[in-house]
A and B are shown apart, each in its own frame.
Chain A
Amino acid sequence: MLGKNQKIKPEDAETIIGAGVKVDGTFTAFGNVIVKGQLLGSLKTESDVSIKEGGSVDADIKAKNASIAGKVDGNLEVNQKIQLANSAKVTGDINCQVLSIEEGAILQGNCKVGGEKNATPEPEVETEE
């Protein structure tokens, strides 16, 4: 019997762009995004992005983590980790905390790995004089 906890919540939903589908425009998702088809424009999510082998993204990507086995033509701005599989082909600049590249992956662009995380501004404190 299927339990009632097996339902979709938008915040943990996974958008899936299948192999026979092309998406064109500003794509903003709730949760993880899996690309097996084609995406043009821009891609933004607060969760993870996974571009499968055969998937193609011609867009700037902003995400928490990115795992790439397909083709990306655009800049990647990732808060944590980027993983490039041996079938990955990335043309664009990369900015992340951790970068893992498998043998055979192609990367053409500038890399900025590690360093300071995107610092959140400290709240202003009012002081009485």
Chain B
Amino acid sequence: MYFYIYDSFLQEKKYKRTISKIETRLATLDISGSKRRLTALKSVQEIVRSLSKNESPTIVVIGNDQTFCKAATAMAGTDSVLGFIPVKKDSEMAKILGIPVNEYACDIVSARRVEKLKFGEVNGKKFFSSISFNASKTILKADQKYQIIPQKTKKIKIVNLDLLRFNKADESEDFKRIASNPKDDYLEILMGRPGKKFLFFKRKQELDSLFFVEKLEIKPKKSKYSVDINIDKGKDKIQAPATVNVSNQDISIIVGKDRLI
């Protein structure tokens, strides 16, 4: 049984035509299903939890990366399958999972090529894509073996599933580091300088350190420091000290042929 969760921003008039094309394509492929709409009162987590009670449902998110990540974490450990129809052209999850945007994604949902992917966990709270925080006030302890002490570094990103926009460490080498691997038991730590925008001035993000860890402790350098850890590029935050590791629960996700994972 297919269930479609429509993101709240799709109620805007400008998306009417896109939605109509998606629904027509789903009907053509004979994979139409029950619809649920996100509102201010109904969160994606609530909807996913209630739909997961059905027998082996396929839940498809029509919307943006943040909603998709929230749906994924809410589905952890269930036997549901998650699909994604991105409607934003800049969707990074779409690039990683090899899914085209808008109605073209319906064919990927219909083909049902499923991969099992893992989650990251920060203080027991799951994240699907990445967490990030300010580097200048933190010390990291990796796998109980070594400390990573940021000195001139400003930003730290711990990645389960994301694109790795990475500086070439050596110009002579052809770096093939495009996306992280969410199927192994490791998380990627990226460190560097964040991008900045000020009036017409724009500085690109520069990440120049990369580590692979199984378990990581994030601690403030001084007890008086407060460090906010931002989860999945959304509004959810938790405070350090925190322990980060790969979750033992996974999720089945529909992916495309051109996926990067």
- A contacts, CB < 8 Å to B: 1-10, 13-30, 34, 36-38, 41, 50, 52
* Residue B176 interfacial (CB < 8 Å): yes
Inter-chain contact A30/B212, CB cutoff 8 Å? yes
Inter-chain contact B209/A24, CB cutoff 8 Å? no
* Residue B228 interfacial (CB < 8 Å): no
Which chain A residues border B151 with CB–CB below 8 Å?
A: 20-22, 37-38
Inter-chain contact A21/B148, CB cutoff 8 Å? yes
Inter-chain contact B179/A16, CB cutoff 8 Å? no
* Contact A6 to B260, CB < 8 A, known contacts A19-B208, A20-B152, A21-B191: yes
Inter-chain contact B181/A10, CB cutoff 8 Å? yes
Inter-chain contact B178/A7, CB cutoff 8 Å? yes
Which chain A residues border B146 with CB–CB below 8 Å?
A: 23-27, 41
Which chain A residues border B209 with CB–CB below 8 Å?
A: 16-18, 20-21, 37
Chain A residue with minimal CB distance to B156? A21
Q: Mark B189-221, 1 if CB is under 8 A from A, else 0.
A: 001100000000000000111111000000000
16 A–B contacts from the bound complex (CB under 8 Å): A1-B258, A3-B258, A6-B179, A7-B179, A7-B181, A7-B261, A14-B177, A16-B169, A18-B207, A22-B148, A22-B149, A25-B147, A27-B146, A30-B212, A50-B170, A52-B169
**Cα separation A34 to B170 with both chains bound (whole Å):** 9
**Cα separation A8 to B188 with both chains bound (whole Å):** 10
**Cα separation A6 to B176 with both chains bound (whole Å):** 5
- B contacts, CB < 8 Å to A: 95, 98, 145-153, 164, 169-170, 176-181, 184, 186, 188, 191-192, 207-212, 257-261
Inter-chain contact A24/B170, CB cutoff 8 Å? no
Contact partner, A7, options B169, B170, B191, B260, Cβ 8 Å: B260
Which of A16, A18, A26, A50 has its CB near the most chain B CB atoms (within 10 A)?
A18
Inter-chain contact A16/B210, CB cutoff 8 Å? yes
**Cα separation A17 to B261 with both chains bound (whole Å):** 24
Which chain B residues border A6 with CB–CB below 8 Å?
A: 176-179, 260
Inter-chain contact A8/B177, CB cutoff 8 Å? yes
**Cα separation A4 to B183 with both chains bound (whole Å):** 14
Inter-chain contact B147/A34, CB cutoff 8 Å? no
**Cα separation A21 to B150 with both chains bound (whole Å):** 5
**Cα separation A20 to B192 with both chains bound (whole Å):** 8
List the 9 closest A-B pairs by CB distance, nearest first. A25-B146, A20-B152, A18-B209, A18-B208, A20-B153, A22-B149, A6-B178, A16-B210, A24-B147
Which chain A residues border B148 with CB–CB below 8 Å?
A: 21-23
Inter-chain contact A8/B191, CB cutoff 8 Å? no
Given contacts A21-B191, A36-B208, 15 further A-B contacts (CB under 8 A): A2-B178, A2-B258, A7-B178, A7-B179, A8-B180, A14-B177, A15-B212, A19-B152, A20-B153, A20-B191, A21-B148, A26-B145, A37-B209, A38-B151, A41-B146
Chain A residue with minimal CB distance to B181? A8
Inter-chain contact B145/A28, CB cutoff 8 Å? yes
Inter-chain contact B153/A18, CB cutoff 8 Å? yes
Which of A1, A8, A19 has its CB near the most chain B CB atoms (within 10 A)?
A8
- Shortest C-beta distance, A10 to chain B (Å), equals 6
Inter-chain contact A2/B260, CB cutoff 8 Å? yes
Contact partner, A10, options B164, B177, B184, B210, Cβ 8 Å: B184
- Shortest C-beta distance, B142 to chain A (Å), equals 8
